[in-house]
Copies of this chain bind each other. A is one copy, B any other.
Amino acid sequence: MIKVGIYGYGNLGRGIECAIKQNPDMELVAVFTRRDPSTVKILTEGVTVYKTEDALNMTDKIDVMILCGGSAKDLPEQTPYLAKYFNVVDSFDTHAKIPEHFSNVDKSCKESGRVGIISVGWDPGMFSLNRLYASCILPEGKDYTFWGKGVSQGHSDAIRRVAGVKNGKQYTIPVEKALDAVRSGENPDLTTREKHIRECFVVAEDGADLNRIEKEIKEMPNYFADYDTTVHFISEEELQKNHSGIPHGGFVIRSGKTGWNKENNHIIEYSLKLDSNPEFTASVIVAYARACYKMSKEGQCGCKTVFDIAPCYLSLLSGEEIRKNML
């Protein structure tokens, strides 16, 4: 059994807990929280919730520590720190800061002899893998990533910061016409506005100026100004009833040419349609936690990403079994 610890227990941590239950070679041994452990109720019977400070007492009881904190403030500190004591996996997703994070985690891992896998999930993660595979197969081509339909946490937060807004949810939606143009092989150049639309469901405070709120949202720089944005005002009840899920998904499409005179076109498309963004992300992470364990057992160490890990490491099955059943 692979003994797993969860460090941070929000939506992602709960997703990890659920995913561990679906993998018969894994066992949850501890959850660590910054909150008062007595206030944190988890789903798995018989597993103790500890304070984060207690983690270092359990270095011999945990094969892989899965970090479930945020990318903005938690992971840049936590992953390099914990990699000094544990094999670790995180879902660090600030694309621009990945090189720096990689280097920090690698340094800790090289000192401790542990394996650290960073930026695991679907983007970064499975989408990155598909961008890499497709670009290696079709070097003369172009790739496109579309996100959605799904809830963007950052954009929903931005809506809720507008004066007069009580609550809100934002959906990122790929533009069907743009998807079709990409799939046709015409390699279009697409502006931000042409690729995605943004749909907002807003609960306004009583008596708030709806026109002003709508205008403020639509003109918000970075978040909405570059997109065609629609704003729907709804009641809190309707928001809870119809918009409480956390679905997401998207598409990675590469269109490329082959042939002596580039006469043939090819489309590679990878897509996800997810009822629960955090649970799917967690499922990817747990598969890579298995890889982390296996690589560590082999004596490997250092920081890795999805690019560095042979697919067979993710599987519970032997090389023989996967060749026989899946090749």
Contacts and interface: CB of A to CB of B under 8 A. Distances in A.
Nearest to A275: B264
- Copies of this protein, total: 2
Contacts of A287: 136-137
Interface of A: 15, 17-19, 21-23, 43, 95, 98-99, 102, 119, 124, 126, 128-133, 135-140, 183, 258-260, 264-276, 279-280, 282-284, 287, 290, 305-312, 314-316, 319-320, 322-324, 326-327
**Max chain B C-beta neighbours (<10 A), residue from A130, A258, A260, A314:** A258
B315 A132 contact: yes
Contacts of A264: 274-276, 279
A28 B314 CA distance: 35
A22 B319 contact: no
A311 B129 contact: yes
A120 B99 CA distance: 31
Given A139-B22, A272-B266, A98 B327 contact: yes
Contacts of A124: 327
Given A139-B23, A274-B266, A324-B98, A258 B18 contact: yes
Contacts of A275: 258, 264-266
Contacts of A319: 307-308
A136 B22 CA distance: 10
A23 B138 CA distance: 9
A283 B138 contact: yes
Nearest to A139: B22
Contacts of A306: 311, 327
Contact of A307 (B133, B265, B276, B323): B323
Contacts of A132: 311-312, 314-315, 322, 326
B270 A269 contact: yes
Contacts of A290: 136
A323 B98 contact: yes
A23 B320 CA distance: 32
A102 B310 CA distance: 18
B314 A136 contact: yes
B267 A272 contact: yes
A79 B206 CA distance: 75
Contact of A133 (B131, B183, B269, B314): B314
